[in-house]
Amino acid sequence: MANGDPVAIESTVHACPSGAISIKPVKIKQDEIVHPPMGGHNIHIIPNGPVRFKESCKITLQDGSVVEKPNGVSICRCGGSAKYPFCDGSHRTNGFVG
């Protein structure tokens, strides 16, 4: 990755269907940090699968804690995820139709 094309790397990260791959903020100077923009407008409902947020977003959990997902996230719709509310792919094996 150190010698990779930055545009290709970013495209690959944003294409990750689960949001498991992410890009960390980059320190430009000692006190300056660049964060990816928080968009949240690119949302897809995957047939028989999760809801996919394809842009950076913040998720507020039931306990009030906030999880930042800079490269998007897949949210479980089947109710079978061991990582609920995040999708772990359980819909593929539990017969979820939706």
- Phi-psi group of 3: left, alpha or beta (phi > 0 → left; psi -120 to 50 → alpha; rest → beta): alpha
**Side-chain half-sphere exposure of 97, counting CA atoms within 13 A:** 1
Instruction: Tell me if 65 is assigned to some domain.
Output: yes
pLDDT digits (tens, 9 = 90+) for 45-65: 888 999 888 888 888 888 888
Instruction: Tell me if 1 is assigned to some domain.
Output: no
Domain count, the chain: 1
Nearest one of 60, 58, 59, 71 to 25, comparing CA atoms: 71
Give every residue of the chain whose pLDDT is below 70, as ranges. 1-9, 18-19, 22-41
- Structural domain boundaries, residue 15: 6-92
Instruction: Tell me if 71 is assigned to some domain.
Output: yes
